[in-house]
Amino acid sequence: MKNFFLILTILLTLFQNSILKAQERNYYQELVNDWNKIFPDRNRNAAGPKFFKHIISKDITYQEFLEFNKLYCAVSGSLINPNAEPEKIYLQEEATNKNICGDYYRCCIPCSCDVMKYSKVEKMKHKFKDIEKEFYVLTIKNPCGKDHFPKEVNRDYFCDGENLSKDQVIKLNNRLVIGLFHEAKFCNESEIIKINNHQVTGLFCEFRNNTPLEDLQSGMGDIFIKLAK
């Protein structure tokens, strides 16, 4: 009888777990399903801002907002494997020039370097389905007035004339929001040292960020850089 109740308990636990698993939201598949809505011409080059706008416009909880924002690269506009681990990086806060450390979900190594060099972070507040929250977002300068807007990027996704399009993207202080900066906070000295000495964010990024623009051959290459610099 004791063994019977033990087996019954195990079976009930497995059944409950299977139900919970089935109820889990497939955030990645939702973005795949919405791809043509987000990118009508299917051009996602450097279009992280389009993902961010699409996600924050949903009627979702703050936790769901976090999960969705782990699934695209703010630099390239590429979707990311749902099991990907983030990179620890730091950027300057636009308002204070202080270093902010956090997690960045990227599709490939060069994107971490590009976002560190050409982006800044700002605080943003938003009312979600369950709570109002303040968080850090990645931003770049308004690219819409550029004489040489990168031809690989759909300008209509970002711009209304020389202004950022409020219908297409999110802007803060006339800067373009390209994505969410996860787990962001003011850096301490040991965090800065660790990031600077990391094989990717230190050694590789130092090499990449000192390479002339015309010689870049990896990641999104010069597309995001031309958009952001």
How distant, in Å, are the alpha carbons of 15, 40, 117, 130, 141 from that of 228? Answer: 50, 23, 10, 34, 6
- The pLDDT score that the predictor gives to residue 16 is 43
Lowest mean pLDDT segment, chosen from 43-47, 185-189, 217-221: 217-221
Cβ atoms of 128 and 145 within 8 Å: the answer is no
* Per-residue pLDDT tens digits for 129-145: 999 999 999 999 999 99
* Per-residue pLDDT tens digits for 79-89: 999 999 999 99
Whether residue 4 has pLDDT greater than 50: no
Percent of the chain with pLDDT over 70: 88
* Per-residue pLDDT tens digits for 51-90: 999 999 999 999 999 999 999 999 999 999 999 999 999 9
How distant, in Å, are the alpha carbons of 16, 26, 129 from that of 20? Answer: 6, 13, 21
- The pLDDT score that the predictor gives to residue 212 is 82
